[in-house]
Amino acid sequence: MTELPGLCCFFVWTERGIRYTVKSDDGHGQEKKGVDRVELFVIMLERLGIIVMVAFIMTRIPIFRRVVDDRSVTFSQKVSVTLLFGFFGIIGTYTGVVVSTGQASYMMWLSELAEDEAIVNARVIGIVVAGLHGGWKVGLGAGVIAGGHRFLLGGFTGFACGLSAIIAGLLAGFAHRYVDKGKNISLGVTFFVGALSETIQMGIILLVARPYEQAFALVEMIGLPMILANGVGAAVFVLIIRSVIREEEKLAAVQSGRALSIAEDTISFMRQGLTTASAGQTCQILLKEVGASAVSMTDRERILAYYGKGVDIYQAGGPIRTEATRQVLNQGEPYIGTQNRQDQTENLYPDIHAAMIVPLMEKDSVIGTLKFYFPTEKEITPLKRELILGLSRLLSNQLELARVEELRHLAQETEVKALQAQVSPHFLFNALNLIVSMIRTDPERARKLLLSLSHFFRQNLAGTNQTWSTLGQELKQIESYLEIQEARFQGELNVRWEVDDTLLNWQIPTLTMQPLIENAIKHGRKAAREPLDVTVRIERVAESVRVTIWNNGRAIPHERLALLAKGPVHSEEGAGIGLYNVHKRLTEMRVSEAGLSIRSDDQAGTSISFLLHRINQTERKEGSG
């Protein structure tokens, strides 16, 4: 038992639980009738600690946050929220103070009340918040649950308190509908609705509870403390919820701002694709923005860039050495690990003991990885994890956009090349001069050449409006071109055809073979081996088709040959640009995985070939033209 001046407190074990009893006296040892309102109000405010805890827990529940944010919720979600707030109202009852004439008691998890007992409680807080944010249906449901529970506890105010809980839910729902339509309800309105609900409860107790003298004494003792405490409690509940959500939104906004800033800084580099140069510039930016010890970027085979601690160990261009990186490349899933879990072939820098590796995607394929190194795994916080995952998606999107841009550029270049072929002044001038010179000497040959010229230009014009063609259509176009060139060079050009006629329906991008024939003749003539022999070969290889254009001209220099495989090589004839264009179209349009294969030496001549795969041939036929 504990005694203080004017206040007597003691614990009593009862069949209904542990009762904490407070008795008041007048300071001279004489017990006062009733409990001081200020003391009761202070006890009620102490219960706000429980309210704060529950409010914070509820902010972790997704459906509750949807209701608070006034977003659309399903019927089942509304039912869940109603049950949640109803349960909170029950908690408000159990954490209340049991009062009777002359004393107040705090009983934990009481199962029933005596006839002369009532509860000073925080039940209305959950009901009011339910109605203010969920509408009258949620408020009514929470009121029925919490009010029904209070009615079952008994006491001479059981029915009055149960009924007032239902009315409080409807009142809060009314405020939700008519006060700014439930959006941004102020703390003042929340306090007012909470206090008004308790005021109505006091009125119902006076009207319903009997005996009246006992009801009047109860309202006189608990009325003002409950009205003020529940109004403040409802406002504090909403304040806690909004504060937590607002801080999280601010944090999310900061993260979004960082991500957008990184996107703005890296987009000019990632537009170049996944190269050593673009990876290096991007890693420098990420190292500064993310705050990691080191940042690295790889493709599927080698390290493209490494910046930060350990830069002297990891050199750009070196092979991938960790099993963790290979795992990400193969599975496409992020990896977080410590040094002990890293593959032993990787000698991590002494101050680096943890890493997070995320994939870089292009459509559904993993084309590389992004690696962040940290001193300990604890520094890979959930916030940094989300940021790194977001950067992975961001950079993947930028790489995908770079690929789309490259395809668009290639398509434009193809169209330009086709238009150039249509009106090429040199080709047209030479062809017309040839036809004019033959009109008198060989009119029939001149007529055939004119038809070939007409067919050639018609096919080029059609190629600007189509994406796909067939091997047969491509061969007809280059036949027209070669007929004119053979007549022009008069015995200095020999063309040999080795074509499997059963393969002529295979699909191929338009204007693929004609640039290869042009290159063979221009390069062969420039290399000057008389006469110039050109072979066009189309043959089946297992489930694929190989197309080969061969000429017996002198070999292409090795340094130039290496450049042709990596990018456009500008020349007077423009053949290098044409070859690179064909190579990229074959690979990017998923026609040939390896693209062009170029072999050249003085003994065997020069051959350019590529494989067409059977996969998706039917689909290409449906989409051709």
**How sure is the predictor about 125, in pLDDT bands with cuts at 50, 70 and 90?**
very high
pLDDT of residue 140: 95
Q: Of 338, 337, 315, 319, whose CA–CA distance to 328 is shortest?
A: 337
Which H, E and C letters describe 98-130, residue by residue?
A: EEECCEEEEECCCCCECCCCEEECCHHHHHHHH
How far apart are alpha carbons 68 and 185 in whole angstroms? 10
How far apart are alpha carbons 374 and 372 in whole angstroms? 7
Residue 549 and residue 430 in one domain: yes
pLDDT of residue 549: 93
The pLDDT > 70 percentage for the chain reads 80
Residue 240 and residue 277 in one domain: no
How far apart are alpha carbons 339 and 328 in whole angstroms? 16
Residue 142 and residue 49 in one domain: yes
Residue 333 near residue 324, CB atoms below 8 Å = no
Alpha helices in 356-470 (DSSP H): 382-423, 425-441, 443-463
Of 248, 281, 306, the position where a domain reaches its end is 248
Tell me which DSSP letter residue 31 carries: B
Place of tokens 């993310």: 290
Asked whether residue 74 is assigned to any structural domain, the reply reads yes
Name 458's Cβ contacts closer than 8 Å, sequence gap at least 6. none
For residue 114, how many other CB atoms are within 10 A of its CB? 12
* Model pLDDT for residues 30-42, shown as the tens digit of each residue: 444 445 677 777 7
Name 416's Cβ contacts closer than 8 Å, sequence gap at least 6. none
Residue 430 near residue 437, CB atoms below 8 Å = no
How far apart are alpha carbons 567 and 579 in whole angstroms? 9
Asked whether residue 405 is assigned to any structural domain, the reply reads no
Residue 274's φ and ψ, nearest 5 degrees, are -85, 90
Name the β-bridge partners of 597: 609
DSSP assignment string, 314-357 = S-TTPBP--HHHHHHHHH---EEEEGGGS-TT----TT--EEEE
CATH of the domain at 349: 3.30.450.40
Span of 83-92, 183-192, 196-205 with lowest mean pLDDT: 183-192
Residue 206 and residue 153 in one domain: yes
pLDDT of residue 622: 47
Span of 476-480, 610-614, 620-624 with lowest mean pLDDT: 620-624
How far apart are alpha carbons 261 and 387 in whole angstroms? 12
How far apart are alpha carbons 421 and 430 in whole angstroms? 13
Name 606's Cβ contacts closer than 8 Å, sequence gap at least 6. 520, 523, 524, 550, 551, 553, 555, 556, 598, 599, 600
The pLDDT > 90 percentage for the chain reads 20
Name the strands in the sheet holding 605-613, side by side, starting at the edge strand that comes first in the sequence. Answer: 493-499, 532-541, 544-551, 605-613, 597-601
* Model pLDDT for residues 223-280, shown as the tens digit of each residue: 898 999 899 989 988 888 888 778 877 877 777 777 778 877 888 788 778 888 888 8
Question: How much of the chain is helix, strand and coil, in % rounded to 5?
Answer: 55, 20, 25
Residue 437 and residue 322 in one domain: no
* Model pLDDT for residues 294-330, shown as the tens digit of each residue: 999 999 889 899 998 877 777 777 888 888 899 999 9
Q: How many helices (H) and strands (E) does the chain have?
A: 19, 18
> Longest C-alpha distance within the chain, in Å?
143
Residue 241 and residue 363 in one domain: no
- Rounded to a whole number of angstroms, the distance between the first and last alpha carbons of the chain is 95
CA dihedral sign, ordered 436, 440, 444, 445: negative
Residue 385 and residue 449 in one domain: no
**How sure is the predictor about 383, in pLDDT bands with cuts at 50, 70 and 90?**
confident
Residue 23 and residue 172 in one domain: yes
Residue 364 and residue 441 in one domain: no
Question: 534 burial class (0-12, 13-18, 19+ CB within 10 angstroms)?
Answer: buried
Q: Of 119, 113, 123, whose CA–CA distance to 92 is shortest?
A: 123
pLDDT of residue 35: 55
Asked whether residue 414 is assigned to any structural domain, the reply reads no
- What are the C-alpha distances in Å from 437 to residues 421, 424, 432? 23, 20, 9
CATH of the domain at 547: 3.30.565.10
Asked whether residue 404 is assigned to any structural domain, the reply reads no
Asked whether residue 527 is assigned to any structural domain, the reply reads yes
Query: Strand 493-499 and strand 532-541: pairing?
Result: parallel
pLDDT of residue 163: 95
Residue 58 and residue 166 in one domain: yes
Domain that holds residue 161: 2-248
DSSP assignment string, 153-168 = HBSTTHHHHHHHHHHH
Whether residue 203 is predicted with pLDDT greater than 70 in this model: the reply is yes
**How many C-alpha atoms does 269 have within 13 Å on its Cβ side?**
19
Asked whether residue 562 is assigned to any structural domain, the reply reads yes
pLDDT of residue 413: 65
DSSP assignment string, 216-238 = HHHHHHHHHHHHHHHHHHHHHHH
Q: Which long-range contacts (CB under 8 A, 24 or more apart) does 73-82 make?
A: 78/134, 78/137, 78/138, 79/141, 81/130, 81/134, 81/138, 82/130, 82/134, 82/137, 82/138, 82/141, 82/142, 82/145
For residue 451, how many other CB atoms are within 10 A of its CB? 12
Residue 357 and residue 429 in one domain: no
Asked whether residue 196 is assigned to any structural domain, the reply reads yes
* Model pLDDT for residues 536-594, shown as the tens digit of each residue: 999 999 888 999 999 888 778 777 777 775 666 555 544 455 787 788 778 777 677 67
| Model pTM score | 0.51
Name the β-bridge partners of 295: 307, 372
Average pLDDT across the chain, whole number:
79
* Mean pLDDT across 441-456: 85
Residue 277 and residue 244 in one domain: no
How far apart are alpha carbons 585 and 273 in whole angstroms? 16
Three-state DSSP at 2 gives: strand
How far apart are alpha carbons 241 and 415 in whole angstroms? 60
Residue 332 near residue 367, CB atoms below 8 Å = no
CA angle 237, 240, 244 (to 5 degrees): 145
Q: Of 338, 349, 343, 262, whose CA–CA distance to 306 is shortest?
A: 349
Q: Which residue has the higher pLDDT, 174 or 62?
A: 174
How far apart are alpha carbons 69 and 87 in whole angstroms? 21
Name the β-bridge partners of 577: none
Asked whether residue 415 is assigned to any structural domain, the reply reads no
Residue 238 near residue 129, CB atoms below 8 Å = yes
Whether residue 348 is predicted with pLDDT greater than 50 in this model: the reply is yes
Count of domains observed in the chain: 3
